[in-house]
Amino acid sequence: MVQVKRGDVVEIHYTGRLRDGTVFDSSEGRDPLSFEAGSQELIPGVSEAVIGMSDGEEKTVQVAPAEGYGERREDLVQEVPLQSLPDGVKEGDALQARAGERVIPVWVRAVNDESATVDANHPLAGKDLEFDIRVVSIGSGT
C-alpha cells in the first residue's frame, strides 16, 4: 500500500476544531485541499501528520500552537487612532496594514470613540487545535 512520503503531493479532506469542539474550518462539500507533504504550505501539525498515511486513511491529530498558528504575541496588538482607519470600521472587521512593501492582515478587536484595537495575530494563534484528516489521493512530488 502506498504511503505518503515527504515531498509527495497529497489531497486531503479535513475538519478543524477548537478544543471545545467548535468547528472553525472544513473542506467537506468543497474540493480537497492539495499540498506538498512536509512543506511550509500548511501549518506543520497537518503537513507533517499526513506523512506515513495511506490513500483513504483517516486520523485525528492534536495540534499545539507551536505546530499550528503560533503563540499569541501581545506586541502584535496595537491601539490605532480612528482617523487612520477606514470610515465605519467596527469590531470584527478584517483590514490590511502596510509595513513598507509588506501587507499584513489585521483584525479589529475593539473600537471606541477615538481609537481601535487592531491585532496582527492569526485568529487561531495560541489555540490548541484538532484536525480530522482523510487522505483522498497521493501523487509523487516534483
Q: Which domains does the chain have, with CATH numbers?
A: 9-70+124-139 (3.10.50.40), 74-119 (2.40.10.330)
Q: What is the pTM of this model?
A: 0.83
SS3 at position 83: helix
Question: At residue 35, what are phi and psi to the nearest 5 degrees?
Answer: -165, 170
Q: How many CA atoms lie within 13 A of 127 on its CB side?
A: 19
pLDDT digits (tens, 9 = 90+) for 42-91: 999 999 999 999 999 999 999 999 999 999 999 999 999 999 999 999 99
The answer to whether 29 and 105 are in contact (CB under 8 A) is: no
Work out the angle at residue 96's Cα, subtended by the Cα atoms of residues 94 and 100, and round it to the nearest 5 degrees. Answer: 160
The C-alpha angle 27, 31, 33, rounded to 5 degrees, equals: 65
Report the pLDDT value the prediction gives residue 98, as an integer from 0 to 100.
85
Confidence check: pLDDT of 141 > 90:
no
